Amino acid sequence: MSEHQAERPLGGPIFTPTLFVLLAIIFSGAALVCYRLLFGLGAVSAMNDGYAWGIWKPLNVVTFTGIGAGAYAVGLLTYVFNRWQYHSLVRSAIVVGAMAYTLGGTSVLIDLGRWWNLWVTFYPPLYNLNSVLLEVAVCVMTYTAVLWVELTPPILEQASRWKYEPVRRVAKWGLPWVRKALPFVISVALLLPTMHQSSLGGLYMITPTKLHALWYTPWLSGLFLMSCVTMGFGAVVIVENLTSLNYRRRMDQRLLGRMAPVPAMLVLSFIAIRLIDIAVQGKLPYIWTFDFYSKLFLVEMALFLTPALLMLLRSVRKNRGGLFISGVLLVLAGTVYRFDTYLIAYKPTTGWVYFPSLGELLFSACLASTGIAVYIVMIKVFPILSGVPSRKKPTIVAQA
């Protein structure tokens, strides 16, 4: 069954100092959540009637899942465009995706004022199909589940080697079934992000009078979809680099380098579509007013353009540091685009001001820490990463 077992668990101790630091942040975040449940959102956040979504939506939901879109990006490349060589990147990307989406969903749950009414999203007779947010909610919840289903093969593979006979038997029985169903699961896993990542842009199509002209366009959906793919590729590059720097594994620089032109070309088309759309709508003059928004736009464009151009250079693709920085810039560009649309270029009519509170930042840090902690534990226990040297005797790790 392990005939093409490219991925292996890293092994090694689970409870490292890093994990304890992360746990500390996680627990303070959890305390904050309790406080929020007792005293309301206003008690922990600076959100107000003018800036009703604050940073939690653009950061915890839209940026996190953009980073988690690596699973979508690499999945499309591997399965649809038949670049099987990238298959070794898929599992790690799915773990990142599963965490990013689970946390994004958790954030929404904490952020919903009347969270106990969430049952309405499971009750189709009430659905208002015009609501882009409904599409996002249902789709993101489903996709989160699908991502975890996609992770059953590595989990079962590992379980079939555990020392408890019943666990082994169940795992061995289940694995062929899961493998058979996998193509359909993968199709769903590619369809859902296409839907909700575009909808995350579509959410702001309802704000023509509040979102600045350089960001408001009926093409928001398409632009968000494209930029989530570029963010996803960037995130894959980052995670590959970080795991090989921190753990005993070999990273395939050539593989990442060969992939790099894909996000680069996507970014260039993203920029082209945006500029053409702005021109068609007759909004070009806004670019050179050199007021705050025009500068913001130019910075954003530069952030997109730089990694794209870098990744087209062969010398950068061969260079580990160069490619890593391009990856970071890719994620950063997508993040800034998301923040601009959701927060900075968005202006309510009356004079509201907003700056995130410590509580909001702490909760976001708590979510990020949870993601990192679970990812680290997952790659140590389960066969997620490729390029891990085999050990004669796999270390038995504590199973809680």
The reply to whether 50 sits near other proteins by the rule CB under 8 A is: yes
Answer for which of 213, 332, 336, 362 binds other proteins (CB under 8 A) is 213
Helix (H) or strand (E) holding 310: helix 292-312
Residue 349 lies near other proteins (rule: CB under 8 A) = yes
Distance CA 162, CA 152 (A): 15
Please identify, using beta-carbon distances, which residue of 44 and 301 lies nearer to other proteins: 44
Of 121-140, which residues contact other proteins (CB under 8 A)? 121, 123, 126-135, 137
Q: How far apart are CA 359 and CA 44, in angstroms?
A: 5
How buried is 102 (Cβ within 10 angstroms: 0-12 exposed, 13-18 middle, 19+ buried)?
A: buried
Burial 308-328 (b: 16+ CB within 10 A, else e): bebbbeeebbebeebbbbbbb
| In the complex, least distance from residue 64 CB atom to other proteins, rounded to whole angstroms | 18
**Residues in contact with other proteins, shown as a per-residue x/- string from 329 to 348 under the rule CB under 8 A:** -----------------xxx
Stretch that binds other proteins, among 156-164, 215-223, 252-260, 320-328 (CB under 8 A): 215-223
Angstrom distance (rounded) from CA 141 to CA 96? 16
Q: Which is nearer to other proteins, 354 or 375 (CB)?
A: 354
Give how many residues touch other proteins by CB under 8 A.
80
The residue (of 186 and 374) whose beta carbon lies closer to other proteins is 186
The verdict on 315 binding other proteins (CB under 8 A) reads no
Interface residue with other proteins, options 20, 84, 164, 292 (CB under 8 A): 84
Residue 10 contacts residue 248 (beta carbons within 8 Å): yes
Contact call for residue 363 and other proteins (CB under 8 A): no
Minimum CB separation from other proteins for residue 67, in Å? 22
Residues 98-117 that bind other proteins (CB under 8 A): 111-115, 117
Q: Round to the nearest angstrom and report the end-to-end CA distance of the chain.
A: 26
Minimum distance, C-beta of residue 105 to other proteins, in the bound complex (Å): 13
Contact pattern for other proteins over residues 28 through 47, marking x by CB under 8 A: ---------xxxxxxx---x
> Of residues 173-192, which lie at the interface with other proteins (CB under 8 A)?
183-184, 186-188, 190-191
Inter-residue contact 92 to 378 (CB < 8 Å):
no
Q: For residue 8, give the 3-state DSSP assignment.
A: strand
From the list 3, 17, 82, 321, which residue makes contact with other proteins (rule: CB under 8 A)?
Answer: 82
For residue 245, state whether it binds other proteins (rule: CB under 8 A): no
| Residues in contact with other proteins, shown as a per-residue x/- string from 265 to 304 under the rule CB under 8 A | ------------x--xxxx-xx-xx---------------
Distance, CA of 357 to CA of 94 (rounded, Å): 32
Q: Which two tokens mark 301?
A: 């464009």
Q: Is 1 in the site for other proteins (CB under 8 A)?
A: no
The number of angstroms, rounded, from the C-alpha of 180 to the middle of its chain's C-alpha atoms is: 27
79 near other proteins (CB under 8 A):
yes
Exposure string for 140-178, b = 16+ CB within 10 A, e = fewer = bbbbbbbbbbbbbbbbbbbbbeeeeeebeeebeebbeeb
